Each structure stands twice: as structure tokens, then as C-alpha cells.
Amino acid sequence: MEEIILRTNDLTKKYNNKTVVDCLSLEIKRGEIFGLLGPNGAGKSTTMNMICSIVKPSAGKVELFGKELRTNKKEVIRRIGYIPQELAIHGSLKAWENAELFISLYGIKGDKLKKAVNDSLEYVGLGDRRQEYAKHFSGGMKRRLNIACAIGHEPELLIFDEPTVGIDPQSRNFILEKIKESNRKGATVIYTSHYMEEVEAICTRIAIMDNGKVIACGTSSELKKMVNGSDDITLEEVFLTLTGKKLRDIEG
């Protein structure tokens, strides 16, 4: 039987009586690269933040690795790597110091920590820039360092919230290749993006989210058939049909 890595049941978040995530029920299986697509304000980051226990749900629950998050937070959180939409690195620390700081938060120490810092910086292609201050890095390098900080404890579930925003195609491709590589090595991935072509290229299944709800979920071919009867349509057209919103409005 396929193992469910993440299950959300009627997950809901309200801010000042406004529902931003609305009774979300998702199931993600081990080995998937699951894409979450949606316009600005759809509730993607809020959903990710509830899954990582950064934001407290107003209602509903999250189960990770078969365990309820709320009552098993400490154990479950160590098995997740979260790459947030907002960069979470410190400019006044060197690249290796950033990696060490974040990886050590997972209780990794000594030689194991040194190796994890080296391996994760190598992994994102920053091995030879380890002594440089993060504030001197380009946008793409900061994004890569952000990833290194979140993967050093070898998480089973990687959650990427728009990791390719504002960076050039070459760096974007590098990050996408790394996500696929992590997945080949066994990690399950949740991936949020506005770039349809990226989502289509790497994701095994895609959920389209709007106004806090998942309005469609399936493989890209299933989504196309749902909208068009055949898969002779682009994912962008599917998105437009379902949400009434154009990609350029989204990328604004």
C-alpha cells in the first residue's frame, strides 16, 4: 500500500474572520512531487506554514508520516525541510555559518554537523563560496543558500514555497534539477510556484488553489481532460478556465 506522507483534514485558517484557507483536505503519497498552483493570495503559503507548524490552524488537522502534527510536533518537524518564500538567511553571517546555524537547530552536532554543512553547500553549488557573507550573494545564490539551510538534516519531506522567484533561467533550472535529484534519492516534495511550465515539468500531481480552496487536483493530463475533454490544452489555459485569472495577473 502506498504510504501517505501528508494528510490534511478540513484544514482552515481565518484571519480577522476572513477565511484564507478553507476546509482543505489533501493527501500526498511518499515519492510524489506535488505541485500547488494558485494566484497571489490563494492561501498557498498559509497552507505550507500550517503544515510546518509555523501558523496555527483555526480548524482541521494535519497528519505527517501518519502522526498528528499537533501532538507529535517535535518528532515530525525534524523530518521536514521547509524552504520559505521569504529568504530566511542572515546577511551578516557567512554562507557556511548560515548553513551551520540552521542545520544545528535539528540537534546535529560535531563532525556530523560539519559534514552536513559541507554536503549541503556542495549540493547547491556554493561549496567554493562558503566563506563569503550572505549579504554579498546575488539573488539566485541567496535562494540556493536558503535551500542548503533547509536540507542539511536530510528531511523526508521537502516543502518549497516559490524557490525560483526572481532568478534567472539558469539558476531556476539548477534548482529544479536539484529538486528532482532529491526526489530520486527518496524525498517527497511539495512545490509551490506561479510558473506553470515548471510545475508541469517536475510535478507528479498538481492542485490548483483559489480563494483558500483546492478547486482541482490531479496529474497535468487529468486536469486538462477535466477542463477540455482531451489533453490538447496548456496548463495555463486550464488555470485560466478554472480561476478566471491570467498568468500575467498572477505574476503581476
Closer residue to Mg ion (CB): 43 or 155 = 43
Residue 226 CB, shortest distance to Mg ion, in Å, is 25
Q: Which does 193 bind (CB under 5 to 8 A by kind): ligand ATP, Mg ion, none?
A: none
By beta-carbon proximity to ligand ATP, the closer residue of 44 and 143 is: 44
Cα torsion angle, 223, 226, 232, 235, sign: negative
> Distance (Å, rounded) from C-alpha 190 to C-alpha 113?
26
List the single partner that 20 binds among Mg ion, ligand ATP, none, CB under 5 to 8 Å by kind.
Answer: ligand ATP
Q: 53-87: buried (b, 16+ CB within 10 Å) or exposed (e) per residue?
A: bebebeebebbbbeeebeeeeeebbbbbbbbbbeb
Per CB under 6 A, which of residues 49..108 are in contact with ligand ATP?
85
Under a CB-based contact definition with an 8 Å cutoff, are residues 118 and 126 in contact?
no
Per-residue burial over 146-176, b if 16 or more Cβ lie within 10 Å, else e, is bbbbbbbbbbebbbbbbbbeebeeebbebbb
Nearer to ligand ATP, 43 or 140 (CB): 43
Candidates 43, 57, 84, 163: give the one binding ligand ATP (CB under 6 A): 43
3-state SS, residue 86: coil
By the rule CB under 6 A, 166 interacts with ligand ATP: no
Q: How far apart are CA 201 and CA 224, in angstroms?
A: 15
- Contact set for Mg ion, span 80-99 (CB under 5 A): 85
The listed partner (Mg ion, ligand ATP, none) that binds 153, CB under 5 to 8 Å by sort, is none
Q: Which is nearer to ligand ATP, 55 or 101 (CB)?
A: 55
- Return d(Cα 9, Cα 45) in angstroms, integer: 17
Judged by CB, which is closer to Mg ion: 65, or 191?
Answer: 191
By CB under 5 A, residue 188 contacts Mg ion: no
Residues near ligand ATP (CB under 6 A) are: 15, 20, 38, 40-46, 85
Residues near Mg ion (CB under 5 A) are: 44-45, 85
